C-alpha cells in the first residue's frame, strides 16, 4: 500500500523554524517528484513546493521562496521541508503528496499541524 506519513509539526513562535518530514512507503520513492501543500484552518489548499525525483530541481510558491527549503533523502525514503522565519498566518496543516506525471498529486499524507503563536 502506498503511504505517506508526515511528522515534525508543533507549536513554534513567530520567527521560529521547524523541519517537517514525510516518510514514504509502498512505492519506489526515488522515482517520483514530491510536493508539499498546506491548508490554514478553515481555508483552502495552497501549493507550497515540489522537488524532482533525484533532488536536483525544486520550485516554490512566491510566498515561501527564500524561507522554505524542500529536500529529500532517497536512501531513507523521506521528504523534508525546512521552514524558517515562520509567520502567524502560516499556521496550517502541511501535507506531503506524491507527484504523478504529468502534473497531479496522489496520494496525500494525513498532514502535520504547524501552529505559529507566541
Partner 1 sequence: QTVVTQEPSFSVSPGGTVTLTCGLSSGSVSTSYYPSWYQQTPGQAPRTLIYSTNARSSGVPDRFSGSILGNKAALTITGAQADDESDYYCVLYMSSGIWVFGGGTKLTVL
Residue 94 contacts residue 111 (beta carbons within 8 Å): yes
Shortest spacing between CB 37 and partner 1, in angstroms: 8
User: Cβ closer to partner 1: 5 or 71?
Assistant: 5
In the bound state with partner 1, the residue whose beta carbon lies nearer, of 46 and 74, is 46
Cell of 67: 524561507
Q: Are strands 112-116 and 10-12 parallel, antiparallel or unpaired?
A: parallel
Binding site for partner 1 (CB under 8 A): 35, 37, 44-47, 50, 59-62, 95, 100, 102-111
Rounded to a whole number of angstroms, the minimum distance from the CB of residue 17 to partner 1 is 23
Closest contact distance (angstroms) between CB of 35 and partner 1 is 8
Question: Strand pairing partners for 96?
Answer: 36
- Smallest Cα–Cα separation from 8: which of 27, 25, 22? 22
Amino acid at each position: 500500500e502506498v503511504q505517506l506519513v508526515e511528522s515534525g509539526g508543533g507549536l513554534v513562535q513567530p520567527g521560529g523554524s521547524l523541519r517537517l518530514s514525510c516518510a514514504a512507503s509502498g512505492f519506489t520513492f526515488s522515482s517520483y517528484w514530491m510536493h508539499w501543500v498546506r491548508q490554514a484552518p478553515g481555508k483552502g489548499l495552497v501549493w507550497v513546493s515540489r522537488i524532482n525525483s533525484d533532488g536536483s530541481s525544486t520550485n516554490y510558491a512566491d510566498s515561501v521562496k527564500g524561507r522554505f527549503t524542500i529536500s529529500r533523502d532517497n536512501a531513507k525514503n523521506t521528504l523534508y521541508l525546512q521552514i524558517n522565519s515562520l509567520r502567524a498566518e502560516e499556521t496550517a496543516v502541511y501535507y506531503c503528496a506524491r507527484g504523478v506525471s504529468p502534473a497531479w498529486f496522489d496520494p496525500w499524507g494525513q498532514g502535520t499541524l504547524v501552529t505559529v503563536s507566541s
